[in-house]
Amino acid sequence: MVSAEENVVLQGKIKRKKKKQVTTPRPACSWVYFSRDFIKEYSASHPESSGLKAATKAASDAWKSMSLDEKEKYTRRAREVWDNYLSTAPTRTPKPRKQAKLVTRCSPGRLFNVIQRLTNEQKAAVKSMGFGSLLDLRCRTLRRSLCLWLLERFNTTRRSLEICGERIPITPKDVELVMGLAASGKDVVNSGSDDLIADLRHSYDATNHGISVRLLEERLAEPEAGEEFKRSFVLYALGTLLSPTARLDVSPSFLHFLTNMDVVHQYNWGKFLLDRLVCEVSRFHQGKQRAVGGCLLFLQLFYYESISVEENGALAPALVPSLSSWGEDEITEREKRERELGGYGCGEVVCKKRCLDLDSCEFMGQLDRPPPACSTNNGVGDDTLLEHKENKVMMDGLCLLSNNGVGHDALLVGLSFPWFGWLVSCGDRFLLSRVRLSDFLH
């Protein structure tokens, strides 16, 4: 009787034997045909020589000394065999190449370490440029398995993530909500005459490869908080987090929009970040580069904010920008919950529930404008008095935030009823709490 274990081993041997019988060996090259003939003659004429080592060495020396004409008959023979092999061998379907490991220059940890060493004057300079949200960065490492999973589902043509059976569009305003970078203003243009940035290139020792990240780290270690610091900080933030390329250095093309540091806060950084991310991911999809550029941290945090892993798609309070919500502990807990559910993409899409679609509620930086009309199709009806109370609550809240110095960083979101989101001042950040409208109306 053959045991089950022995039967498994026997079946494995049979399969391997069948595989060897079916597989057609690849033809040899011209050198192999020559060496076979040469070694036979050499062994016959040198009976005292034992083994193949001496014969193979002699064949190699003879082959190297032969002219192309002398090698022609062996080359022709090998070509004929190869052509016959290609015409008779079954067509092999190539397996799709799958990258198991993500290579990226996006490194939130490097920027985090630099931020920890900034002085109060330097932090004030960062805020004056519109990059104050980066000072609340708490995440140090990317979850590369998640980023790679998202890259495979990132439709660069539609600028959307296709996950959980839905297509989730990504806009510059999503960048604003996640990263805290303005999604309005002048376009960031990183092109122009090289003569205009020649002096800046020289001051940063820029080569054809780029500007050294280590050089920028050394500059940022100095206590100076003026124009040079501002320029170095923006270059460093772009090169390590917001818009890294596939290379190790920072692109010198960024100097084109950093010639005048007084207008940096006027740029549409949200659009720039998204445009660069789409461009870099497209190049990665096309196989033009092995490493992935762009702000992958934004992609990671956007997924966390758009997909709920809580029961019944429950929404937890969120900070705006959400960059400050996600530290290492929160991300570790989130990843644990993802695994418990069976992996990425098993949660529920909640970006619509969060009412963070600013296409219909554009309040960022526009507190002097009256709120737009919002749908009340939630059973409230056309009660004029109720609508008046609702609008009064909204306007009172906006005035309260404005009078308390919240300014353009305040954001009112989710004006659909009976729920809406409200931002409450919380230092430099704002807690997005979920409040029932009836609490205000009674």
pLDDT reported for residue 219: 96
What's the angle, vertex CA 164, arms to CA 159 and CA 101, rounded to 5? 70
Q: Is the pLDDT of residue 145 over 50?
A: yes
pLDDT reported for residue 147: 95
What's the angle, vertex CA 321, arms to CA 315 and CA 327, rounded to 5? 75
Q: Are 412 and 371 in contact (CB under 8 A)?
A: yes
Tokens 């990183």 belong to: 190
Q: Which pLDDT band, with edges at 50, 70 and 90, does 360 fall under? A: very low
Tokens 């996950």 belong to: 163
Residue 418 preceded by cis peptide, ω within 30: yes
Q: Which pLDDT band, with edges at 50, 70 and 90, does 294 fall under? A: very high
| Mean pLDDT score, 120-145 | 96
Q: Which pLDDT band, with edges at 50, 70 and 90, does 316 fall under? A: low
Q: H-helix or E-strand containing 349?
A: strand 348-349
Q: How far apart are CA 423 and CA 413, in angstroms?
A: 8
| Mean pLDDT score, 305-326 | 80
pLDDT reported for residue 244: 93
Q: Is the pLDDT of residue 301 over 90?
A: yes
Q: Which pLDDT band, with edges at 50, 70 and 90, does 438 fall under? A: very low
* pLDDT > 70: percent of the chain: 69
Over the stretch 393-432, which tens digit does the pLDDT of each residue have?
A: 444 444 434 443 444 343 433 333 333 333 333 333 334 4
Q: Is the pLDDT of residue 102 over 70?
A: yes
pLDDT reported for residue 1: 52
pLDDT reported for residue 250: 94
pLDDT reported for residue 82: 82
pLDDT reported for residue 359: 42
Q: Which pLDDT band, with edges at 50, 70 and 90, does 350 fall under? A: confident
More confident residue, 46 or 176: 176
Q: Is the pLDDT of residue 273 over 90?
A: yes
Closest to 228 (Cα-Cα) out of 215, 239, 243, 240: 215
Q: Are 219 and 118 in contact (CB under 8 A)?
A: no
* Domain spans in the chain, listed from the N-terminal domain onward: 16-88, 108-349, 384-441
Secondary structure of residue 418 in the 3-state scheme: coil
Sheet strands (E) in 135-192: 154-155, 160-163, 166-169
Q: Which pLDDT band, with edges at 50, 70 and 90, does 95 fall under? A: low
Q: Are 136 and 179 in contact (CB under 8 A)?
A: no
Residue 321 preceded by cis peptide, ω within 30: yes
Tokens 């919380």 belong to: 426
**CATH code that applies to domain 16-88:** 1.10.30.10
* pLDDT > 90: percent of the chain: 48
| Mean pLDDT score, 76-104 | 73
pLDDT reported for residue 227: 96
Q: Considering the chain, what is the average pLDDT of its residues?
A: 78
pLDDT reported for residue 379: 38
Sheet containing strand 154-155, edge to edge, reads 154-155, 160-163, 166-169
> Phi and psi at residue 161, in whole multiples of 5°?
-100, 130
DSSP 37-55: HHHHHHHHH-TT--SSHHH
More confident residue, 260 or 43: 260
Q: How far apart are CA 120 and CA 201, in angstroms?
A: 28
Give the number of residues written for the chain.
442
Q: Is the pLDDT of residue 16 over 90?
A: no
| Mean pLDDT score, 358-370 | 37
